[in-house]
Structure 1
Amino acid sequence: MKYPASELVLDSHGNVYHLGISPKDLAPDVLLVGDQNRVAAISAFFDEITHRSEHREFVCHTGYYKGKHITALSTGIGTDNIDIVVNELDALVNIDLNERTNKTQTTSLNLIRIGTCGILQADIDVHSYLLSSHAIGIDNVAHFYPIAFSEAEKSLAQALDSFVGFPDEITPYCSTSSEHLLKQFSGDKTHEGITVTSSGFYAPQGRSLRLGTRTSEVNEKLEAFSFNGKRVVNFEMESSALFALGKALGHQCITICLGIANRPRMEFSKGYEQEMNGLIQYVLDRI
């Protein structure tokens, strides 16, 4: 199959359209961050930077850290951006951009999200590391793809939906992280558990300002939920699409977040630059 110009969209330089990079600019280990400024915070640890680019919200730095070839890439906020990022990263390694055809041999990337999140358990302190074993999406990105979720993933999503009682228009889905990467980044500093990925920051996460919310008790219900010994540890806005799309395309995906708010305790970080740098160092050393 040859992809037409309207489907595989490239820029005038032959780069993937939104990210603005070519296959030579990409390393096998990709650190995904929402914040553009966090890319430079990561590459500051590199021994050598071999590529820098910026296109829209997608800032990319590639280089070497202790001999490992690593890319740091900003995604912006939300699963809609993750849809763009995962598809274009996959195209960079698994589609011949000149011929516009699939390569005969596929490549698997390690897609490692370093983010911030809201903590949903009162016993987990602000600035803790939250490691996602599963991501449950209350967004809609994965519903547009023919993804074969496992029976275990379906059971977890259905159990959470039944327990919480999301609005009828929302159908949660669940995708697991990479078992290999989960073991790689697990440690004494991490709190492992289920992540819930929201399509927004305010009402979708139970925040009520002038417009109000239809999910007013969602945080308390998520805090109380458990499934096969796992509990919901955090709320964020990217991991469900990352896990579902990335895994369906054959990539290894994981999310590790710095908790900057504890929702049950109504606490928010007063500043976390130092703690984020600590998390970046933690991830780099385990790569």
Structure 2
Amino acid sequence: MKETLSNANFPRDSEGRVYHLGIRHGEVANRILTVGDHARAKAIARWLDTEDEAGAPVFVNHSHRGFLTITGRYKGIPVTIMAIGMGNCMMDFFVRETRAVTTGTLAIIRFGSCGSLSANAPAGTVVVPRGGYCIRKNLEYFVKEENRLSKGPVEPYLISGVFDADKEISQILVQELETAMAPITGKHGVGGVVANGLNADGCSFYSSQGRKDPAFWDDNENVIQQSMEAHPDTVSLEMETSMLFHLAECAREPNPIRAAGCMQVFADRVSNGFIHPDTVAILEPTVGKSVLETLIKVQVDNEMSAEGTVWEKKK
């Protein structure tokens, strides 16, 4: 740590940069596309306006905690692309710290990869969920019985109710994806768009997603079945999107968060298939551009002024 920080409750440095993302006010736009992979973020950023078109250079920031922020304009509209890594905690850092350095409504779309729990969504399909829920390993179950706080029976996994995605953003996203993917659907392993199902968000890639690991005590043989019984229209399974929906629902006025998500199906958990790299190479840029097209069509209330920001036109 090189900077002197203030406020242990919500750390910032002397320039107002939040601790994990390393950004401050004016470096993140109201419309945000978030991914896990840095390479994916950089690839999508190639669609952004050039410096001559935007009137300002594209802003790029690598934080000491592994977050990549790229802010510029797409067809004249300020947008941010942010790579956050994997998992619930990284999504929590991203949403809370982004909210702390912005004002007005945030429109966030998560573009990721997922596993499929539906025969209707094989590898190469793109899923746009109407909402999501969380599967969490109940650590109390795995505590030695004599050390437990609970006196009664304890389940190894907790399954939540549904957190809704933003309906309007999701509808625009489906339309953009279906239009953009129409020429490639059915070719090179690319599937169609599967919308209106649910996304399951595990706290782990392994235990809470039902993967068997003989090296650990997980008691997860029934967790997927239990999840499907609770939510029969589950389509996808990953680790971030439902957490985004949850945090968006928890955001307080006057600065709400509107969230949606789309995921490429990489792992078909029904047939045990996996996407081919050639399919990803074709599908990924199509989906990334569709997300950008969606974001610029979203109405954002109380959008931040460009004055003093990294997207302010310098010429």
Q: TM-score range by the shorter chain?
A: 0.7 to 0.9
Q: Which amino acid aligns with 1:47?
A: D
> Partners in 2 of 1:77 and 1:168 — Cα distance?
23
Out of 214, 218, 221, the position equivalent to 1:216 is 221
Distance 1:172 1:16, change over 3 A: same
What is aligned with 2:143? none
Q: Which amino acid aligns with 1:254?
A: A
Say whether 1:66 aligns with 2:70.
no
Q: Which amino acid in the other structure matches residue 276 of structure 1? A: E
Give distance in 2, aligned partners of 1:285 and 1:195: 23
* Superposition pairs of residues 1-287 of structure 1, within 5 angstroms: 5-48=7-50, 49-55=57-63, 56-94=65-103, 107-139=104-136, 167-168=155-156, 170-187=158-175, 188=178, 189-192=192-195, 193-211=197-215, 213-220=218-225, 222=227, 231-249=233-251, 250-271=256-277, 272-287=280-295
What per-residue deviation string (whole Å, max 9, x for no partner) do you get for residues 150-169 of structure 1?
A: xxxxxxxxxxxxxxxx9355
The structure with the greater share of residues assigned to strand is: 1
Q: Give the whole-Å Cα distance in 1 for the aligned partners of 2:157 and 2:111.
A: 30
> Matches of 2:227 and 2:193 in 1, distance apart?
19
TM-score (norm 1): 0.79
- Taking CA–CA contacts closer than 8 Å with sequence separation of 6 or more, which of the two structures ends up with the larger relative contact order? 2
SS at match of 1:255: strand
CA distance in 1, matches of 2:68, 2:220: 34
Q: Tell me: CA distance 1:169–1:232, structure 2 relative to 1, closer, same or farther (3 Å).
A: closer
Question: How far apart are residue 71 of structure 1 and its match?
Answer: 0.2
CA deviation string 1:186-211 (max 9, x = no partner): 23442121000000011211111223
Quote the offset at 1:286 in angstroms: 2.4
Query: Is the contact between residue 121 and residue 223 of structure 1 (CA under 8 Å) also seen in structure 2?
Result: no
Shift in Å, 1:240: 2.2
Partner residue of 1:103? none
* 1:78-109 superposed Cα distances (whole Å, 9 cap, x missing partner): 11111111111111124xxxxxxxxxxxx110
Judging changes above 3 Å, is the alpha-carbon distance between structure 1 residues 51 and 185 closer, same or farther for their aligned structure 2 residues? Answer: same
**Letter matched to residue 172 of structure 2:** Q
Q: Deviations along 1:7-43, whole A, 9 cap, x unmatched?
A: 1211243211111111211111101111122210110
User: Structure 2, unaligned stretches of length 5 or more?
Assistant: 1-5, 51-56, 138-153, 179-191, 296-315
Give me the identity figure in percent: 25
**Residues in 2 aligned to 1:57 and 1:123: alpha-carbon distance in whole angstroms:** 35
Partners of 2:159 and 2:227 within 8 A in 1: no
Q: Is contact 2:169–2:294 with CA below 8 Å preserved after alignment?
A: no
C-alpha contact (below 8 Å) 2:29/2:102 kept by paired residues: no
What is the SS of the residue equivalent to 2:158?
Answer: coil
Query: What CA distance in whole angstroms lies between the structure 1 residues aligned with 2:282 and 2:110?
Result: 18
Tell me how large the CA RMSD over aligned residues is.
2.1
Deviation at 1:283, TM superposition (A): 1.4
Q: How many residues align?
A: 244
Give the SS at the match of 1:186: helix
Q: Which residue matches 1:148?
A: none
Structure 1: any 5+ residue segments left out of the alignment?
A: 95-106, 141-165
For normalisation by structure 2, the TM-score amounts to 0.72
Which letter does structure 1 place at the counterpart of 2:58? T
The 8 Å contact of residues 226 and 232 in structure 1, kept in 2 or not, is answered as: yes
